[in-house]
Structure 1
Amino acid sequence: MTIQAYQTLFESSIAFGMRKSLQSEQRTAEMHIKIEKLEEENYKLEIEIEHLSSDILDLLEKEKEAKAKGEEIHHGQCEEFVNKNNEILGMMKQVLEDLTPK
């Protein structure tokens, strides 16, 4: 090989190395941008998780309160029915006593 061939090979390898170096820097910059975007998206999703968790806890608390209120109403209605039943039973016993001969 002649010196000219070696010089051309050297220049070509320098150009190749520079291209690869620039490509690497460009990919690194793109990766940093992508990382920043993903971190921002992650932050937004974490905030959304906090809001949704708070909403879930609120709904569970409301459901618990509604259930307790429903049970209280049901218990009150049951007591009312028992009292009404006892009243009717007392009236029936009175009617039966009045109808039975003495």
Structure 2
Amino acid sequence: MLEVISLLLRGIQPLLVPICFVVAWTVTILAVLSLWTAARDSVTTAKQMHQIPCTGCQYFTDNYRLKCTVRPSIANTEEAINCLDYQAKTNPYLY
């Protein structure tokens, strides 16, 4: 049994270095692609979240219990991007 395993290992040994080389680079490339995809998705999400106008609205209360006095269910969500009730703050002390 030991002779068979020894013979098998001697037969595979020349292929181990190229196989390990390919596997190592594949893992490295997949890790870089994964990081790139995560960064790209984060930037896309951040751009969309910056379109939410709630903090500059007259009706935004900046209170975690009642964020908006007109439409509290959609305040600070993607649904608020095209809010029909949006009114820009006119009083500089409300910022």
- TM-score, normalisation: structure 2: 0.48
Larger Rg: 1
Looking at secondary structure, tell me which structure has more helix per residue: 1
